[in-house]
Structure 1
Amino acid sequence: MNEKRKLTPALLFERFCYGCGDFGCNIIYTAMSAFLLFYYTDYAGVNAAAVGTIMLISRVFDGISDIVMGMIVDRTKSKHGKARVWILRMCIPFALAGILLFSVPASLGSTAKLVYVFITYNLVSTVVYTAINVPYSSLNALMTQNPYERSVLSIFRNLLATAGTLTINMVTLPLVEFFGDNAAAWTKTFAVLGILAVIAFLLTFIGTKERVHSVAEISGEAEPVSFAEGIKSLFANKYWIMMTCVLALFFLYYAVNGGTTVYYAKDILGDKNLVSTINGIYNAIQIAAMFFIAGLVKKFGKRNVFSLGLILSAVGMLVLEFGGSTMPVIVISSVIRGIGNACGGATIWAMVSDTIDYGEWKTGHRTEGLVNSACSFGYKIGNGIGSALLGIILEIGGYVGEAAVQSSSALFSIRLCFVWIPIVVFIACFVILRFYNLDKEFDGIIRDLHERAAGR
């Protein structure tokens, strides 16, 4: 069920190619988190609260599609495996859907624009993103059962995800300005970025290999797990429940904080182009910190490294809130938060993959697709709530996209979303992780699974 592999150029290339998948995903995910609401309010002329409500409602459809896609992955049989084949099939539709997302026709009336937003947002989030991200998320557990290698793969995933986030944050607004700084410029920008996403996904497809099979598959006794059995197995898996809750909270934080950055730069710091500086430092530090995380994980375990990251992220936010809104404080805060987020990003997906093995050990059912799709449902719910919360809070605070100067209540709402909601999320995640003990149990679980496979 598992194989030890020496560090070779081929292994390094496979790790890199695996990480490229999240680089591609972040072309759209980061754009949706950091710029979509800004594009809707300031370029397309769409009401922020209405958009936030659409994003939240869409999560209902999104949850259904996640579960369906998870079941499809678990039942997929092809010469390319369960997951990789879907990355190949969906990479071009992914790029095209991203272009449509940032192409609200200027000629439409207010209601028609909301209809267009509803349709394209659901096309991207509910259909296309799900159809490529669920298989990609399943790939880690299908490539290896070695817990250290999973952590390294997660580090490469986060490195390339951060590189994708950094790319979007650094080039989006400059590209928009280059193409004319109007609504049409956003369409052209995401045409360019869509091509980049397709290249990244093709690297993932070409450069990775699925090696892990369930005990039942090895013995030739594998049968499709029914939906009812699969769901029952999920809720018998206490560690999956914990990680799903953590993911939901973490992505709520990403949506609220990431979506507020452009407002924070424009209305509090006085220059929207400082988004590139703030996120550039944050992401560059996160990338640099990744090179030290593997050693920490090996010594202290995934849970403890993740918990350390939550503490650092909260400290970084407090430095920002009480240090004053000056550039030196922004830099210090971004450095601390970058290190903190590196700890979480390098461990969270490996922890999800570990819950798959725990689930097989406890229930006899190995369902990579369903586990990751259900996690995806959880974090998309968190992201949807975060996006809706951001829009609603800005609306309550009296934010006006066209205003030269925002009111004090609008500025407070921006600070609330950028600093205090994330701190609450970090505290909640830290408490949940106190009950996660799978790091200590994992080696015994894998030995038992190997013995079961050998005994059949």
Structure 2
Amino acid sequence: MAAKNTTQPAAAAAEPVSKPIYHGKEAVWRKMAFASGDITYNFPWMLVSSFLMFFMTDIALIPAAVVSILFLVCRVFDAVNDPLIGILADRTHTRFGRYRPWLLASGIPLVVSVILLFWAHPEWPEMSRTIYGCVMYCIAVVFATMWNIPYGGLMASLTPDPTERASFASYKILFSSVTCAIASSIFLPLTNMFGAADGDPVNGYLIGAVIVCALAVPFIFTCFFGTKEVVHPPKNQKIKAKALFQVIGKNPPLLIVVVSFFIFGFISYGRMTVAVYYFQYNVGDPTGGLFSIYALLNGVLAGIMAFFGARLMKVFKSKRNTILFGYMAMAILCIITYLMDPATVSSTTIMVLLLASGLVSGISSSMIYAMVPDTVEYGQWKSGIRADGFVYSGTSFMLKLGGAIAPTLLAALIAMAGYVPGAAQNADTLNVMNSMMNLMPAILSILGFVIFLFYKLDGKMHARILADLEARGDQLMD
């Protein structure tokens, strides 16, 4: 293998000197083993994404205004935490690879920290219960990052084949969506069942969290033992901060994908948080029965659509065109739903529209995950540095930021509008919930459509990049 050239990356117009080497079609069981990592992550973290705000305001009795600040502070904390973990993962060298050891180290702590986060102490003084919630949330964020960033970087190391990467991403989103659907749909029934047993909702939420989080544990080991890293960075690669910023700064495709992860986070995770309030107060679902049905069907439908993402890519001829279709359909459906008045329209109509928008969101989700490894290699082509973990930390941060902005804005806006937990809400509060549930996702989808018009990293360009990397000795494979 030729020696690595760290100073003169190949020019963008250079012709490949050889065809890139692909490993061929990967076994289905390997794709499922990799995708099981999202089961580990999403069973506990979907509880955080969907129910933590409601839990804090209505069960732990932390004021909504304080909760909005807490969510913002933790996102700022994540701004440092995500790239730090990404850099450490990229610098890890073991016989198991760079990223897989992190899965063993973080899986169990993630599960335990989320369980403790859903242990409410409403009898404590307000300051004490607020501090407890803040500290446990930050701890849970650290372990979630320790799992999710290396897991995200792992996908680029499994295969160099862009078609197989799209297939890996399809399995990933399918497993993720179904897991989110299961977690979202069973959690409230569990809290109601165990809370009603002794009339204490605190115990209901704690026991519900224990049951849901425990489902994640076996898949820690499935993902670790069922995957293998075959794509490696150049030998003796030294990662410096300036070079890492070049990996991102000189990477327009990555910048576009990063913004799309923010949109995905808002729609997929943040919207589910808003939905808890939207169904209870706008639709009139105090028991959470309709929300549980919505959460289950929304996740399953989005997962099914994402699973067929690679096939849809063939219909629309490229990942970019597939995403453009998904964003356009999402914007139209969300605008229609926003204009509906749940007080005069049947809950069935609202449900169908919401599920339809969830269905088309699966189209875009599988494509953006499949694009991340491609942008990693674009950055390596331009800068000479391969930093899968650091790149994924940027996408992960934006995903979590999108998922956090929705509840942060909701908490702040409903507090200003006069939100009262458990009571009938005024018109301003209901309008805030409707806007956050439907209007904001529509606006963000339009933004996503516009920015992807400028995405230029197609299949032909990616093939040329891989060939150039191999000619330079920058693409090392088992």
Same fold (TM over 0.5): yes
Deviation per CA, 1:127-153: give whole Å up to 9, x if none. 111111000010110101110111111
Letter in 2 for 1:201: I
CA spacing shift, 1:197–1:450, aligned 2, 3 Å:
same
1:143 is matched with 158
Is 1:208 paired with 2:208? no
Aligned length: 446
**Residue 212 (structure 2) aligned to one of 189, 193, 201:** 193
SS of residue matched to 2:308: helix
Deviations 1:77-100 (A, max 9, x none): 111111111011111101101101
- The Cα of 1:448 is off from its aligned counterpart by 1.4
TM (norm. structure 1) is 0.93
User: Which residues in structure 2 correspond to 1:55-454 (within 5 Å)?
Assistant: 55-125=71-141, 127-181=142-196, 182-214=201-233, 216-217=234-235, 222-271=236-285, 272-299=288-315, 300-325=317-342, 326-403=346-423, 405-440=424-459, 441-453=461-473
Opposite residue 93 of structure 2, the aligned amino acid is: K
Indicate if the aligned counterparts of 2:68 and 2:411 stay in contact, CA closer than 8 A. yes
CA positional deviation for 1:323: 4.5
SS in structure 2 of the partner of residue 173 of structure 1: helix
Q: Which amino acid aligns with 1:140?
A: M
Is the 1:248–1:378 contact (alpha carbons within 8 Å) kept by the matching residues of 2? Answer: yes
* 2: CA distance, partners of 1:455 / 1:49: 50
CA offset digits 1:73-132 (Å, max 9, x no partner): 11111111111110111111011011011012232111111111110111111x111111
Describe the SS at the equivalent of 2:179.
helix
Aligned residue for 1:249, secondary structure, equals helix
CA offsets, 1:280-336, max 9 Å, x none? Answer: 222222233234321121342111111211122222223323344323313431342
TM-score by length of 2: 0.89
**Identical counterparts, % of pairs:** 28
Instruction: Report if the CA contact (8 A) 2:307-2:366 is conserved.
Output: no
Aligned-partner residue type, residue 238 of structure 2 = P
Displacement of 1:455 after TM fit?
11
In the aligned structure 2, how far is the partner of 1:386 from the partner of 1:322? Answer: 19
C-alpha distance in 2 between matches for 1:286 and 1:210: 28
C-alpha separation in 2, matches of 1:173 and 1:60: 29
Q: Distance in 2 between matches of 1:178 and 1:46?
A: 23
Instruction: Label 1:292 to 1:250 Cα distance change in 2 as closer, same or farther (>3 A).
Output: closer
Give the 3 Å change call, closer, same or farther, for CA 193–280 of structure 1 in structure 2. closer
> Could you tell me which amino acid in structure 2 is paired with residue 353 of structure 1?
P
- Structure 1 runs not aligned, ≥5 long: none
> Is the CA contact (8 Å cut-off) linking 2:50 and 2:270 kept in structure 1?
no
Alpha-carbon deviations, 1:18-61, whole Å to 9, x = none? 11111221123321221111111111111112111111112222
Note closer, same or farther for the CA distance 1:263–1:454 as it changes in structure 2 (3 Å cut).
closer
Q: Using the alignment, how far apart are the partners of 1:71 and 1:311 within structure 2? A: 36
Q: Residues 178, 328 of structure 1: CA spacing in aligned structure 2 closer, same or farther, 3 A cutoff?
A: closer
Task: Identify if the C-alpha distance between structure 1 residues 338 and 383 changes in structure 2 by more than 3 Å, giving closer, same or farther.
Answer: closer
Contact 1:256 1:390 in 2 (8 A): no
TM-fit CA distance, 1:250: 2.7
- Secondary structure of the corresponding residue to residue 231 of structure 2: coil
Q: 1:276 Cα deviation (Å)?
A: 1.2
Flag the 1:273–1:195 CA change in 2: closer, same or farther, 3 A.
same
Alpha-carbon distance change, 455 to 185 in structure 1, aligned in 2, over 3 angstroms: closer
SS at match of 2:232: coil
| C-alpha spacing 1:184/1:223, structure 2 compared with 1 (3 Å) | same
Cα offset for 1:243?
1.4
From 26, 43, 54, the counterpart of 1:38 = 54
**SS at structure 2 position matched to 1:4:** coil
User: 1:361–1:445: 8 Å Cα contact kept in structure 2?
Assistant: yes
Which of 49, 72, 75 in structure 1 is aligned with 2:65?
Answer: 49
Question: CA, structure 1 residues 331+379, in 2 after alignment: closer, same or farther (shift >3 Å)?
Answer: closer
